[in-house]
Amino acid sequence: MVLCLNSRAAKVFNRTLFLALIVGVYFVVGVGAANANEKVVLALGDSLTAGFGLTTSSGFVVQLETRLILSGVNARVIDGGVSGDTSAGGLARLDWLFVDTPDLVIVELGANDGLRGLDPTATMANLEAIVLRVKERGAKVLLSGMQAPPNMGEEYAREFNSIYEALARKYKIVLFPFFLEGVAAQPHLNQIDGIHPNADGVKLIVEKILPFVTTLLEGDGG
């Protein structure tokens, strides 16, 4: 069947087709420009970034990405968290996480090292290797501090807790002093296990870490 259009109908059809093509071009270009300006953040961590016990929307990754976007930063946050992971585990899987070429890597590891009483010297060596590898890839580092559990004793806690500040000072990277600041030991901000933050706890963590992330994405430090 051949579709015949009179002169007026043909003009309307052609104009509509032209406008549709223009809109399509602008859409493609706009999306391309948005993607080109997108900042990619990798959250390399354990259950605290993986959102253990929470819905996806309540976890650290989604809450942080949402807050970044609401604050005007075109960002995508990648979930690089594995529950139960140690600093050694994070180091072992770091390379394949770089497939998305992140601009910034939040290093949140060491909590499980402390819970297991692992040698702080080994933890520091693993974290140092992670920092060096991230910097070699051209990404910025936001190192998140951890603290040893009280039952490990004062000497262990002193050695373990000093790891993060020492690395930040040595490599001139930004340190977020303690990932669970204001959340640890607060029952109303934690799940029933008393270890993992609930949705409100994660919200507080995100509010505290957001200025550090934003500053690094805008080009200062790291």
| Cα-to-chain-centroid distance, residue 33 | 22
Q: Which of 113, 162, 193, 220 is catalytic?
A: 193
Q: Is 83 a catalytic residue?
A: no
Q: Which of 46, 85, 144, 196 is catalytic?
A: 196
Torsion, CA 116, CA 135, CA 213, CA 186, rounded to 10: 10
Q: Is 188 a catalytic residue?
A: no
Q: Is 162 a catalytic residue?
A: no
**Residues whose CB is less than 8 angstroms from the CB of residue 102 and which lie 6 or more positions away in sequence, other chains included:** 40, 41, 42, 78, 139
Q: Which of 7, 46, 47, 95 is catalytic?
A: 47
- 33 burial type by CB count under 10 A (0-12 exposed, 13-18 middle, 19+ buried): exposed
User: Would you please indicate which residues are annotated as catalytic (active-site) residues?
Assistant: 47, 193, 196
